[in-house]
Amino acid sequence: MFVDPDGPDDIPGTEDDNLHLSAGSPCVNAGDNDAPSLPEQDFEGQPRIQECRVDMGIDESPHFFDCNDNGLSDACDIATGTSEDDNGNGIPDECEPDAWYVDDDASNDPGPGDPTVSDPLEDGSLEHPFDAIQEAIDVAFHGQDVAVFDGTYTGMGNKNLDLDLKAITVRSQNGCPEACIIDCDGDGRAFLFHREMSDSVVEGFTITGGYAQRGSAIYCVSGSPTITSCMITGNTVYGVWLSGGGAGVYCYNSSPTIANCRIAENSALNSVGGGIRCSDNGSPTIINCAITQNIAEHGGGIFCYGSGPTITNYTITGNTATDYGGGINCYQYETSPTITNCTFTGNSAGIGGAVYCHYYSYTTITNCILWADAPDELCVSSSSSPVITYCDVQGGWPGVGNIDAAPCFVDPADDFHLLLASPCLDAGSNAAVPPDLTIDLDGKPRIIDGNSDGQAVVDMGAYERRTVEEPDQLHLAGPIPNQVPVGDTRARSTRWCRQTS
């Protein structure tokens, strides 16, 4: 970066060219002080080393950038270790912006919606944002945000996104997932995580159109990122049986936190885990989520294989498994999910409408409602040992605190809050509620005295009833019905099975 490489005559290589280095030149303070035969002066007789390092070329520039106003050039701050330069762009980290911006419909973008046609001045600023998400990820460094403006992001640079182990937050700018969409357009996935930790965050997107063998929206490999406030919908896996799965999220030897998400209408029709697959030693935390209308061969909502997820405060409704486990399939060998304060309803499978426990799985289910799933609520193999307590299980189930009574949902078709007459009010176990769990799926206080008997006891299911003074959201005339989804004519007799092999 010369001051004026063409000179006043606009012809390069003539005598009027100004080949002095500009302040922003990468050649300033970039040479080797120990170079053999290093001259003491530059071509104009100026001292050769004016800062911490010699400049490249014939000119020793007296000009330099000093973004932190400490009297030393940025290059010297970085060279001497006074400042860090995590992303290697020559700017001290303390001078970098707090966020890098992405907007593929910005006023200066000549090709809105096309990440291959960009603002020639794009630099990730508010005035000249990047038009592809990966561009911002690539320049961000630990602790920074990538803020994505509303729009639909597709094509190159907007799928198969890789945070490259960076502790950054990739988020929608206004926090509304319905308005900020990553559409993989039937080719690839949105995010691949590999060894990132909880301070690598994805927040506030709709992720759709993914198509991959596994993890068509998000694939975590030996990592523990945070995925929050996202809608993961309309993604498909093509892998078969155990070679693929997790159309929404695939967690392989990973322990991500998946919070406040809606995972819906994803398909692993010839595979496992329509919504989520947890596999091979991972311990994901899944909290405050709705998992609905997903489909798979096994585990329409969630498929667990050799993993121990903690699943809390969520609804799992309307999911389908063509074989085992409409809601959750706990499959084989040391699979040990802990499921607390969740609501299962309207799920269906060949066996185990709500939950299927396969060989040598060790499932703990507490404070949950399992009601109106088909053909049964629970199916357990003879070698599995689930512990099910303080649950409302249609058809009954042995265990402390378990009941078999219609839960009295506000609307059994789509509103699973509890009416005042519900037997699930104040019927759970406070001891089973994790100490840091203080809210229900609505974000309201989790343990209150819902029936005003002077004792604050947690309700069963994902929602906590407020108080007896709170009016029912649906007026019921006459007796409380034996609630099942609309159009469901199945018998109300035995709702579970126990396999003998």
Q: Which of 89-98, 131-140, 231-240, 340-349 has the lowest mean pLDDT?
A: 89-98
Confidence at residue 472, expressed as pLDDT on a 0 to 100 scale: 58
Average pLDDT, the chain: 86
Between residues 53 and 397, the one the model is more confident about:
397
Rounded to whole angstroms, what are the CA distances from 136 to 47, 132, 140, 141, 473?
Answer: 40, 7, 6, 10, 45
What pLDDT does 216 receive? 97
Cα Rg of the chain (Å, integer):
29
Where is average pLDDT lowest: 245-249, 297-301, 359-363?
359-363
Most confident among 29-43, 74-88, 167-181 (mean pLDDT): 167-181
The rounded percent of the chain whose pLDDT value lies above 70 is 85
Location of structure tokens 């973008």: 109
Which pLDDT does position 10 carry in this prediction? 67
* pLDDT tens by residue, 49-67: 766 777 787 776 665 667 6
Looking at residue 196, the DSSP 8-state letter turns out to be -
pTM of the model: 0.80
Angstrom distance (rounded) from CA 4 to CA 19: 7
Q: Where residue 119 falls among pLDDT bands split at 50, 70, 90?
A: confident
- Check residue 416 and report its DSSP letter: E
pLDDT of residue 300 exceeding 70, the answer is yes
Q: Could you report the per-residue pLDDT of 418-461, keeping only the tens digit for each?
A: 999 999 999 999 999 999 999 999 999 999 988 888 899 999 99
Closest by CA position to 188, among listed 236, 254, 137, 117: 236
**Does the structure show a pLDDT above 60 at 386?**
yes
Kindly tell me if the per-residue pLDDT of 343 is higher than 80.
Answer: yes
At 24 the pLDDT is: 58
Which of 10-24, 102-116, 135-149, 163-177 is the least confident region?
10-24
pLDDT tens digits, residue range 253-297?
999 999 999 999 999 999 999 999 999 888 999 999 999 999 999
At 470-488, the pLDDT tens digits run 655 433 333 333 333 333 3
- Specify the pLDDT at position 468: 54
